[in-house]
Amino acid sequence: MRKKLYKATAKSPANIAFIKYWGKKDPKINLPFNNSISMNLSNCFTVTTVEFSSRFKKDRVFIDGKEVSAEKKNRVVNILDIVRKRAKEDFRAKVVSKNNFPADAGIASSASAFSVLALAASKAVGLNLSLKELSILARLGSGSACRSVVDGFAEWKRGRDSQTSFAIQLASPDFWGLRDIVAVVAKEKKKASSTEGHAAALTSPHYKMRLIGLKSRIKNLKEALLKKQFKRFGQLLEEEAISLHMVAMTSKPPIFYWNKGTIEIINKLDEWRAGGLWAYFTMDAGPNVHVICQQRDEKEINKRLKNLPEVVFTIINKPARGTRLMNQHLF
């Protein structure tokens, strides 16, 4: 009998949400309440190799050199089960995953992790998914992951059900030379996971208002992005970040993601703008600040950020391509 051995490796970027996904309409399938908009990050990525084989007795998952179990493993196995079912295969798998950013830096890795897993696992088992199907599969692992599969700038259309909720491309990576300088201000593990934050969001009295306000904010931000109107874009970006964090801070129980360093950067950006240097902030479910600026100001802003006492280090990102297959396997 021919010995079956299926193996594939892929690479995928994390993404920064300009319009955020916060709160789930259906938590089982990560269906959001609103559309969201993002940019893929060139310097925050995950590489994953998946192998299915009759030699394996059980699924095993290794992330950054350590075998994971419980909830972390279950989320991966959930995706493996979906592709196995679709391909009518029953082999167990070995999954080895590496992030290029430090695991303890508080940089969200679920977007890169689940988009790369969707491609590597589906290819390994012999499925050839379309971009739409790949986005849907990635979404089932982690909502934000559905935006990492397309190149450059993405919009996740919230949809009505699983088949209609996926990301499409808004613009290619070279459309606009934006930079996302991630200022890492905390290396401790984050306080509440995004899963907990999504669940708590609906308990905030401000959640309904956020959804109402989002209608015009999404339209305006998309327009500012496509017309490359940086200052208008930046103001909307900050408004949106504050809206998410206000919901988090007023959830029951409240979640405060910001720390001293977060506030320090918010104040500094205001000061720098008054002096004619243009950059704006956004944060995901953590204290680190994503400082968005134009290519021409990258060096100066990075220098100033690194000089701030609360900043541990920075990561400079350009708009990047989406999930890709790789030739070299990790094992």
| Structure-token match 């088992």, residue found | 125
The region of 59-67, 115-123, 138-146, 172-180 touching ligand PMV under the rule CB under 6 A is 138-146
Amino acid letter, residue 225: L
What is the closest distance, in whole angstroms, from the C-beta atom of residue 197 to ligand PMV in the complex? 7
DSSP state of 245: H
CB of 72 to ligand PMV, least distance (A): 13
Contact 21, 34 (CB under 8 A): yes
Q: Which residues 274-293 are close enough to bind ligand PMV by CB under 6 A?
A: 284-285
CB within 8 A of 186, min separation 6: which ones? 106, 259, 261, 286, 287, 288, 312
CB of 110 to ligand PMV, least distance (A): 4
Site string for ligand PMV, 32-71 (x = CB under 6 A): ----x-----------------------------------
Residue among 9, 10, 13, 20 that touches ligand PMV (CB under 6 A): 20
Contact assessment for residue 186 and residue 261, using Cβ atoms and an 8 Å cutoff: yes
Angle between the N-to-C axes of helices 70-87 and 110-124, in degrees from 0 to 180, rounded to the nearest 10:
30
Can you tell me the distance from the alpha carbon of 122 to that of 133, in angstroms, rounded to the nearest whole number? 10
Choice between 142 and 262, CB closer to ligand PMV: 142
What part of residues 64-103 is at the interface with ligand PMV (CB under 6 A)? none
Tokens of 329: 């396997």
Pick the closer one to ligand PMV by CB: 12 or 194: 194
| Interface pick for ligand PMV out of 11, 14, 21, 207 (rule CB under 6 A) | 21
Q: Helix or strand or coil: residue 135?
A: helix
Q: Pick the closest to residue 286 from 193, 196, 209 (CA basis).
A: 193
Closest separation between CB of residue 4 and ligand PMV, Å? 33
Calpha distance 314→303 (Å, rounded)? 10
Site for ligand PMV in 184-243 (CB under 6 A): 194, 198
Q: Which is nearer to ligand PMV, 108 or 124 (CB)?
A: 108
Angle separating helix axes 70-87 and 131-141, nearest 10 degrees = 150
Residue 108 contacts ligand PMV per CB under 6 A: yes
CA-closest candidate to residue 61, choices 34, 95, 90, 21 = 95
Q: Which stretch binds ligand PMV (CB under 6 A): 2-10, 18-26, 164-172, 272-280?
A: 18-26
Least distance CB 322 / ligand PMV (angstroms)? 15
- Would you say 51 or 284 has its CB closer to ligand PMV? 284
- Spatial strand order in the sheet of 313-317: 279-282, 289-294, 178-184, 313-317
Whole-number minimum distance, CB 53 to ligand PMV, in Å? 30
Two tokens, residue 259: 């720390």
Q: Contact region for ligand PMV (CB under 6 A) — 15-23, 62-70, 271-279, 300-308?
A: 15-23
At residue 303, φ and ψ (nearest 5 deg) are -60, -45
CB of 3 to ligand PMV, least distance (A): 37
Report the sign of the C-alpha dihedral through residues 198, 202, 203, 205, in that order: positive
Answer for which of 34, 110, 282, 288 binds ligand PMV (CB under 6 A) is 110
Using CB under 6 A, count the residues that bind ligand PMV.
14
Applying CB under 6 A, among 13, 23, 106, 143 the residue interacting with ligand PMV is 143
24 Rama class: left (phi>0) / alpha (psi -120 to 50) / beta: beta
The residue ranges that bind ligand PMV (CB under 6 A) are 17, 20-22, 36, 108, 110, 142-144, 194, 198, 284-285
